[in-house]
């Protein structure tokens, strides 16, 4: 068969498939065949159709949203004091690059006209979503005079995010899920040493913490847990934790041990003339330590008694010292709670300022999302408020002024049992062999 005939037959079949797409797709989806999630569907059908809509609507979209400029004067002066405003005679849209496909959408580069700023493009993102019939459009300006448009055709966070498998890329780097462009969601504690995780009940906080523990378990990293809800969440990981405190008195003792460890690591760095444990020889470097706090409010809430208030204040002070001093010494803090505001108690706001990584799951009120993301970006607060009850595990992740949507991996009971059978690093503490040898019971080592 001639090659040209084969090309014509394949082209004809592809054209028939596109024309009948609205007929056969719903029927296959009803039978449980996820054709809308097939990668080839985007490359063969979705990308050409989306690129065509972008090119065919760009001129009018730019004109209606104030992105075009006139190549002729748009005003004329009559007399001495009279100015008549008019429409641009020949509106010229900004120059648009060729749409570059990605695994979940495409990207476009726009050259700004002289005198333009990216602000109108940020405001026109919603209009682009409707005109191009895509899930989401995000606009950034990576360099002067240019705007980069990121188009996501379908939401990659719907459905179940498959569990991560395989070795970690670097020490203290954890693959905990997937971000909205389809790439792995990596929490790198070397780059962002402390994290804050917020969200309502059943929003996905515990799932994210479990994904973090699952990713860090194979690494030579000591994990310390504080779960004042009786250890119901972090207690599932059993022997992999170097220490676990299940109530506030023992959390106070554990945090005191962590601060003592920080002081001991300072002495080691001073003796070597180094500013960080990462500058030490590998054989002299202490084991990295990750402190995970589940439900921060349990450390701060009091029953009105003097003893309870003193415990809460001491916990707040020790957490703040850990966040302020621990980064360069290999001590990292991951704090989770439904809301983290000044209403919990003293020093909470100061602690929140030290937590550079922010993760906001579904919240019941605007104030909770504002506490987590308000100092990062107002648009991130709005996006976090739009997360529904059906999107468990979906969150807004912010760090370094950037933000994105993401979803954590599910952690099964078998995964948790596998973590529980993993042994922790030997002697992670320089200060004492048993960091949870307290006077009172309630903590496990």
Of 11-15, 77-81, 375-379, 391-395, the least confident: 77-81
Here the tokens at position 273 are 């003339």
| Residues 366-386, mean pLDDT to the nearest whole number | 82
Give the containing element (helix H, strand E) for 97: none
CA distance 69 to 338: 48
User: Per-residue pLDDT tens for 86-118?
Assistant: 554 567 888 899 888 887 788 999 999 888 888
Who contacts 345 (Cβ-Cβ below 8 Å, separation ≥6)? 300, 301, 302, 312, 313, 316
Give the containing element (helix H, strand E) for 235: none
CA 320: distance to chain centroid? 23
Fold classified for 173-444: Rossmann fold (3.40.50)
Nearest Cα to Cα of residue 418 among 193, 238, 184: 238
Of 330-339, 404-413, 432-441, the least confident: 432-441
Of 63-77, 133-147, 239-253, 415-429, the least confident: 63-77
pLDDT score of 41? 67
Q: Does the pLDDT of residue 259 top 90, yes or no? A: yes
Here the tokens at position 198 are 């917020």
Of 77-81, 198-202, 208-212, the least confident: 77-81
Which residues of the chain are in CATH 3.30.980 domains? Answer: 36-152
pLDDT score of 182? 73
As a dihedral over the C-alpha atoms of residue 41, residue 15, residue 137, residue 67, rounded to 10 degrees, the angle is 160
pLDDT score of 441? 37
Q: If 0-12 CB within 10 Å is exposed, 13-18 middle and 19+ buried, where does residue 94 land? A: middle
For 433, other C-beta atoms within 10 Å of its C-beta total 8
What is the chain's alpha carbon radius of gyration, rounded to the nearest angstrom?
Answer: 27
pLDDT score of 72? 56
| Residues 243-251, mean pLDDT to the nearest whole number | 90
User: Per-residue pLDDT tens for 338-358?
Assistant: 888 777 777 888 898 899 999
pLDDT score of 202? 86
CA distance 253 to 378: 38
User: Per-residue pLDDT tens for 288-326?
Assistant: 999 999 988 888 888 778 888 888 889 999 999 999 999
Here the tokens at position 290 are 């990750």
pLDDT score of 437? 44
| Residues 164-185, mean pLDDT to the nearest whole number | 76
Quote the pTM value: 0.73
With bands split at pLDDT 50, 70 and 90, how would you rate the model's confidence at 198?
A: very high
| Segment of 24-38, 158-172, 224-238 carrying the highest mean pLDDT | 224-238
Q: Does the pLDDT of residue 334 top 90, yes or no? A: yes
With bands split at pLDDT 50, 70 and 90, how would you rate the model's confidence at 427?
A: confident
Cβ atoms of residues 363 and 202 within 8 Å: no
Nearest Cα to Cα of residue 343 among 402, 304, 313, 300: 300
Counted residue by residue, the chain has a size of 445
CA distance 445 to 426: 12
pLDDT score of 422? 83
pLDDT score of 382? 82
Average pLDDT of the residues of the chain: 81
Cβ atoms of residues 197 and 427 within 8 Å: no
Which residues of the chain are in CATH 3.40.50.300 domains? Answer: 173-444
**Could you report how far apart the first and last alpha carbons of the chain are, in Å?**
73
User: Per-residue pLDDT tens for 10-55?
Assistant: 566 666 665 565 655 666 566 555 555 555 667 777 788 888 889 8
| Residues 186-195, mean pLDDT to the nearest whole number | 93
User: Per-residue pLDDT tens for 260-286?
Assistant: 999 999 999 999 999 999 999 988 899
pLDDT score of 74? 47
| Residues 230-247, mean pLDDT to the nearest whole number | 88
CATH class of the domain at 36-152: alpha beta
Q: Does the pLDDT of residue 417 top 90, yes or no? A: no
pLDDT score of 440? 36
pLDDT score of 265? 93
As a dihedral over the C-alpha atoms of residue 137, residue 141, residue 145, residue 149, rounded to 10 degrees, the angle is -20
CA distance 303 to 35: 56
**How big is the CA angle at 53 (ends 51 and 56), to the nearest 5 degrees?**
110
């Amino acid at each position: 068969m001639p090659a040209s005939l084969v090309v014509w037959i394949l082209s004809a079949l592809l054209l028939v498939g596109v024309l009948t797409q609205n007929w056969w797709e719903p029927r296959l989806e009803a039978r449980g065949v996820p054709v809308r999630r097939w990668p080839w569907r985007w490359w063969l059908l979705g990308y050409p159709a989306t690129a065509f809509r972008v090119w065919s609507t760009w001129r009018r979209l730019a004109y209606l949203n104030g992105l075009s400029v006139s190549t002729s004067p748009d005003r004329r002066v009559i007399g001495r004091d009279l100015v008549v405003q008019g429409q641009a005679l020949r509106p010229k849209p900004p120059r648009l690059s060729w749409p570059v496909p990605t695994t979940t959408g495409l990207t476009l580069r726009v050259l700004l006209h002289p005198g333009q700023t990216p602000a109108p493009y940020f405001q026109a993102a919603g209009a682009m979503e409707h005109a191009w019939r895509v899930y989401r459009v995000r606009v950034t300006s990576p360099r002067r005079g240019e705007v980069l448009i990121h188009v996501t055709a379908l939401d990659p966070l719907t459905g179940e995010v498959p569990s991560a498998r395989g070795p970690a890329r670097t020490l203290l780097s954890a693959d905990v899920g997937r971000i909205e462009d389809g790439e792995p969601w990596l929490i790198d504690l070397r780059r962002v040493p402390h994290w804050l995780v917020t969200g309502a009940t059943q929003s996905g906080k515990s799932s994210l913490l479990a994904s973090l523990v699952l990713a860090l378990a194979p690494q030579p990293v000591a994990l310390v847990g504080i779960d004042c809800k009786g250890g119901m969440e972090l207690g599932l990981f059993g022997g992999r934790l170097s220490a676990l405190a299940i109530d506030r008195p023992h959390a106070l003792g554990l945090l005191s041990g962590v601060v003592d460890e920080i002081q001991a690591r300072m002495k080691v760095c001073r003796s070597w003339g180094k500013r960080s444990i990462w500058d030490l020889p590998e054989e002299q470097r202490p084991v990295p330590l990750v402190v995970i706090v589940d439900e921060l409010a349990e450390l701060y809430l009091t029953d009105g008694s003097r003893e309870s208030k003193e415990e809460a204040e001491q916990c707040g002070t020790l957490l703040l010292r850990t966040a302020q001093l621990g980064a360069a010494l290999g001590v990292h803090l991951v704090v989770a709670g439904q809301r983290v505001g000044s209403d919990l108690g003293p020093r909470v706001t100061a602690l929140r300022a030290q937590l550079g990584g922010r993760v906001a799951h579904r919240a019941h009120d605007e104030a909770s999302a504002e506490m987590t993301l308000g100092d990062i970006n107002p648009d991130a607060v709005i996006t976090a408020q739009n997360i529904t009850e059906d999107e468990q595990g979906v969150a807004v992740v912010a760090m370094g002024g950037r933000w994105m949507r993401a979803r954590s991996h599910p952690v099964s009971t078998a995964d948790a049992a596998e973590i529980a059978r993993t042994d922790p690093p030997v002697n992670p503490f320089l200060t004492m062999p048993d960091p949870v040898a307290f006077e009172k019971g309630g903590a496990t080592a």
